[in-house]
Amino acid sequence: MLIAGNWKMYKGPAETAEFCVELKRREADFEGIEVAVCPPFTSLAVAVQVLAGTDIAVAAQNVHWEDEGAFTGEVSAPMLRELGVYGAIVGHSERRQLFGETDEHVAKRARAALDAGLSVIACVGETEAEREAGETEDVLRRQVSVLEAEDNLVVAYEPVWAIGTGKTATPDMAQEAHAFIKSLVDVPVPVLYGGSVKAENAAELLSQPDVDGALVGGASLDVESFAAICLSATRS
């Protein structure tokens, strides 16, 4: 089971160091699960340094598909590897909605990261309008179809309507979506749930048979909250 914290555009290097020192102190409590933090690009190096020698992984929030070139504002997989970064998120709904990323972009980013030896958390999920129109399975089928399943790929199901809204898919809804995603790939792929996961609902969500962990947003910014979610995972 994997619990990954997506910090979005929060925590510079100083805050990151403080958080990681405390998380490192609690590592022994997380036996039996995988834990990762995903800081902004400017804070990756300090997270790698502080968490060196632990089993807590550090991943980026995005990665470009080219190794180098005239791509202002982007960061490549080899650059992340040189920093000591473990993996990258691709296709987060905020990247799709706010920055116009398409399924093709997500596929290219995922492929480049995997080819470079990084692990990938590829995000998929429907909007509220798509769910209400009965299009959830069509959306998931389309988004998953561009991904190539392999050992280092993890899929994160994040219903867009539940991200940062306080709304959460019910455990039954999450289970149904996760089971459907797993039916779309030939090779078994872990599927995380992402969408207003917090300490109060983590245990019930993580107890579902096809929920293999969580991609945690706002609740991962507080070390007490994030640690509580990790502890819930150890009991699932």
Calpha distance 56→24 (Å, rounded) = 8
Calpha distance 65→133 (Å, rounded) = 33
CB 80 within 8 A of CB 63: yes
For the question of residue 92 being annotated catalytic, the response is yes
For the question of residue 158 being annotated catalytic, the response is yes
Q: Which of 101, 126, 130, 158 is catalytic?
A: 158
- In this structure, how many other beta carbons lie within 10 angstroms of the beta carbon of residue 37? 26
Q: Which of 92, 105, 126, 178 is catalytic?
A: 92
In degrees rounded to 5, what are phi and psi of residue 58? -120, 125
CB 49 within 8 A of CB 18: no
- Quick one: CA dihedral 111, 112, 116, 121, positive or negative? negative
Catalytic residues: 92, 158
